[in-house]
Amino acid sequence: MKYRMLTKEEQIIFDEDFKAFLITNGVHAEEWAEMNKSDVPKATELVELFSDIVLEKVYQKIEFLEYRSLDSCLVFQCTPDDIKLISITPKQKDGTDLSTPESIHEALTKNAQNLTVLKTSKQYSPLREMEIHKMIEQGCVASSKEFWNALERSISVE
Rounded Cα distance, 64 and 84, in Å:
9
| pLDDT given at position 154 | 86
Rounded Cα distance, 126 and 151, in Å:
28
- Say if CB 59 and CB 131 are below 8 A apart: no
- pLDDT tens-place values along the chain, 158 residues long: 999 999 999 999 999 999 999 999 999 999 999 999 999 999 999 999 999 999 999 999 999 999 999 999 999 999 999 999 999 999 988 888 999 999 998 999 888 899 999 999 999 988 999 999 999 999 999 999 999 999 999 887 43
| pLDDT given at position 35 | 95
Cβ partners under 8 Å of residue 26, min gap 6: none
Q: What is the full DSSP assignment across 97-132?
A: --SSHHHHHHHHHHSGGGEEEEEEEEE-SS-HHHHH
| pLDDT given at position 63 | 98
* First vs last C-alpha separation in the chain: 40
Rounded Cα distance, 116 and 130, in Å:
29
| pLDDT given at position 111 | 86
| pLDDT given at position 155 | 82
Judge if pTM exceeds 0.75.
yes
| pLDDT given at position 157 | 45
Q: How far is CA 121 from the centre of its chain?
A: 17
